Amino acid sequence: MSDTTEATEPARSPSRRALLGWGGAGLALGAAAAGGTVAVVKGGGSDAVPAAESGAAVPFHGAHQAGIATAVQDRLHFAAFDVTTKDRAALVQLLKDWTAAAAAMAEGKTVGEGAYGGLAEAPPDDTGEALGLKPSRLTLTFGVGPSLFAKDRFGLESKRPEALVDIEQFPGDNLDPARSGGDLCVQACADDPQVAVHAIRNLARIGMGKVAIRWSQLGFGKTSSTTPDAQTPRNMMGFKDGTRNVDGTDTKALDEHVWVGAKDGSDWMTGGSYLVARRIRMHIETWDRTSLQEQEDVFGRDKGEGAPVGKAKERDEPFLKAMKPTAHVRLAHPDSNDGARILRRGYSFTDGTDGLGRLDAGLFFLAYQRDVRKGFLPIQRALARQDALNEYIQHVGSAIFAVPPGVRDKGDWWGRGLFG
């Protein structure tokens, strides 16, 4: 079995309703989450079926959390939570309950006793809107924000990783506190938006009285890929986005740039990663009135093929000096940033209009890295200073999270290394 494929029969992808009666059969199919990727579900021979169409499940348990190096799904529901309880034991119990629910939902099962058939006098455990839907490659990825480590909260001050920095204010930022920060986060990605929304809704419901959603973001179109063989998606500006990303099967690059190593400090983070989330508003109407030449100069790539300036094909090696000094790709390239690389996993969003007749649209930028101080920060400093794209975008939300390693097995839970 190749790293980018999983040898599973599409026909074995069951509906959620079917799974209700299957108990703990462990239906998560395919490649191990231990750095593996689920790109294509093979029916054998030439009838390979794209994983998205098969509705397959991505394994929840593994050395790394799914939703980072695993193949990017079509839809996102991301939620940042404030922890409202002051009781450490209650928080730990919640994390255990969340983990059990997340593992079940990733397999396409309902939460707890299900959505119906239980006590008529009590609300059902599961809200029910994902009944009959396939697992849809749902991944749930959990992280903790800097505020959880604050003094006089849960006794975690000494466990805050040095890499979990407070992100500085960059020139041009217009950050809304109501769309920034958070004690905890859960990134839900799936090929069916209802499956992703159901997952966040049910976790929030389980957390009632202990956590409250601080902000959340829906994403309708992926703007990056961790599977270079797949077609590169386009962002709201019409450009291919995610061409030169960290490949989810490139274990060397993942170890060097994405996974926290054993010698990086904070033992509980070994095998984890650091996530930066930025809500980036696009001034779409201005962009749409900009000439094609200017648009291509802004990125340093052509709009049709996505090839770097002076090159013919999307995957051709960029020649940075052929680009304008302010071109986005030139400034963001590892050669301009001491070799810095990040794994981008962002989504396009459109949240209606802004009251002035303009679309409230943009990129919900998500990037994973081994150390934010060597990844996002140097790249963003360069971009904030010079990027020609700045005329057309504004960062309006920001958050950082430490994303622990994977949940190993049924006895393990989100945050065990931190609280255990």
Ligand X SMILES: C=CC1=C(C)c2cc3[nH]c(cc4nc(cc5[nH]c(cc1n2)c(C)c5CCC(=O)O)C(CCC(=O)O)=C4C)c(C)c3C=C
> Per-residue contact track with ligand X, 342 to 371, x per CB under 6 A?
x-------------------xx-x------
Alpha-helix runs per DSSP H in 207-291: 251-257, 284-288
Residue 146 binds ligand X, judged by CB under 6 A = no
Near ligand X by CB under 6 A: residue from 5, 380, 390, 398: 380
Residue 328 within binding range of ligand X, rule CB under 6 A: yes
Q: Does 318 bind ligand X (CB under 6 A)?
A: yes
- Residue choice 393, 399, 400, 418 for contact with ligand X (CB under 6 A): 393
Give whichever of 212 and 292 is closer to ligand X, judged by the CB atom: 292
Q: Does 237 bind ligand X (CB under 6 A)?
A: yes
Residue 361 or 418: which CB sits closer to ligand X? 361
Residues that bind ligand X (rule: CB under 6 A) add up to a total of 28
Instruction: Identify the sign of the CA torsion 58, 63, 68, 70.
Output: negative
Q: With H, G, I as helix, E, B as strand and everything else as coil, classify residue 178.
A: helix
Other C-beta atoms within 10 Å of 418: how many? 21
282-311: which residues touch ligand X (CB under 6 A)? 282, 299, 301
Q: Please, are residues 37 and 31 in contact by the beta-carbon 8 Å criterion?
A: yes
Indicate which single residue of 347, 376, 413, 414 sits in contact with ligand X (rule: CB under 6 A).
Answer: 376
Closest CA to 221 of 363, 70, 55: 363
Task: For residue 5, state whether it binds ligand X (rule: CB under 6 A).
Answer: no
Two tokens at 399?
């958050």
By DSSP bridging, strand 184-190 and strand 75-83 are: antiparallel
Residue 203, number of CB atoms within 10 A of its CB: 25
Rounded to a whole number of angstroms, the minimum distance from the CB of residue 137 to ligand X is 22
Q: Say if residues 328 and 243 touch (Cβ distance below 8 Å).
A: no
Kindly state whether residue 42 participates in binding ligand X, applying the rule CB under 6 A: no
- What is the distance between the alpha carbons of residues 240 and 306, in angstroms, rounded to a whole number? 6
Residues of this chain that bind ligand X (CB under 6 A): 235, 237, 239-244, 278, 280, 282, 299, 301, 318, 328-329, 332-334, 342, 362-363, 365, 376, 379-380, 383, 393
